[in-house]
Homo-oligomer: A and B are copies of this chain.
Amino acid sequence: MNIKEVAEKAGVSITTVSRVLNNPEMVSEKTKNKVLTVMDQLNYTPNWFARHLQKSRTNVIGMLIPDTLEQSYMEITKGVEKIARQKNCSIILCSTEFDPDMETDYITTLTERSIDGLILTSPSIDRKQFDRLKSRDVPFVFIGKTGFMEEANTVCTNNDTAAEEAVEYLIQSGRKNIAIVLSNHPKSDNHDKLTGCKRALQKHGLPLPDSNILHADNTPENGYIAFSKLLDMPVRPDAVFIATDTMAFGAIEKLNQANLTPDEVAVIGFDDLKVGAVIEPKLTTVTKPSYRMGMTAGRLLFDIIEEESADDDPQTIVLQSRLKIRKSCGNKERLKEIW
């Protein structure tokens, strides 16, 4: 079923049918109604491909995230979706599983699909892929830091100063032997968090022996194991900064099993996952503006697509994460908090 059939049944030319769809104000009420009726009868839907063969925009944007099961990424996605909906756009969502090859793959597939734009979250993109992407002539926005901040629109958050604030807080509450558990992915986030931690420690002249820095995959199980290792150290840390809530959940588990209290070993997570407010002791953590990051990236992207903003003047927008203090750091005065 195509425009021709509709035109025939309605006794008009295909142009008129096309106009009913695209410029209804150019068609008389009478003809319009006739055509609409026929369309309805025939259950006609214009062929999307024929349509976009002429028009440039496709109303589809691509979105790359490392993992669909991580709350933060899905919050970002929700933010993008909010904006995309306003712009009448759909999102092709691709999950790279933190695999650079899959990332490359998806970038190729997506740009070939003539999407209007692309949002890449925590990309592990290298120079070569970046140049390839640029040459594709598809507007894109990065979420999370990359090595190409000068050359590409980027929305990110202050992982470094947020981590610094967290460790600063630990120090202020009297902790002296602070350990750090980093996640293996994404690289840049963890690098920044470590930088922030170091800055706070240095400022107060506190040491950070290498043995106090652990790396783990981002699961509760690995958090549990890493935390166990720290507890077994000759000199037990009195506080642990853990780069993700997910790992911190495992740590809290171990803390409880070892019959330790936050006063003995404080735990700080990162991400502000919902469940952190439900476990005991409730997790002190860093809230990231994920949803807003998604919206911001979406707006930025559509500004470029709609040429309201030049693509050759890349912006970096930094949204603020901030510390959310709960019981896992042992503040006795906060014991009454519910959420």
Chain A interface (Cβ < 8 Å from any Cβ of B)? 43, 45-50, 52-53, 58, 60, 68-69, 71, 74-75, 77-78, 81, 88, 90-95, 109-114, 135-136, 219-221, 246, 249-250, 252-253, 256, 274-275, 277-280, 339
Contact = CB atoms under 8 A, between A and B. Distances in A.
Given A68-B77, A91-B93, A109-B90, A43 B135 contact: yes
A325 to B, nearest CB: 18
Contact of A60 (B46, B77, B113): B113
Q: How many copies does the complex hold?
A: 2
B280 A48 contact: no
B46 A49 contact: no
A114 B49 CA distance: 8
Query: Which applies to chain A's interface (DSSP): helix, strand, loop or mixed?
Result: helix
A30 B62 CA distance: 36
Best-buried of A53, A90, A278 by chain B (most CB within 10 Å): A278
Best-buried of A68, A135, A339 by chain B (most CB within 10 Å): A68
A250 B70 CA distance: 20
Contact of A278 (B92, B110, B220): B220
A137 B48 CA distance: 15
Contacts of A253: 278, 280
Contacts of A90: 92, 94, 109-110, 113
Given A45-B112, A113-B48, A69 B69 contact: no
A249 B275 contact: yes
Contacts of A60: 92, 113
A81 to B, nearest CB: 6
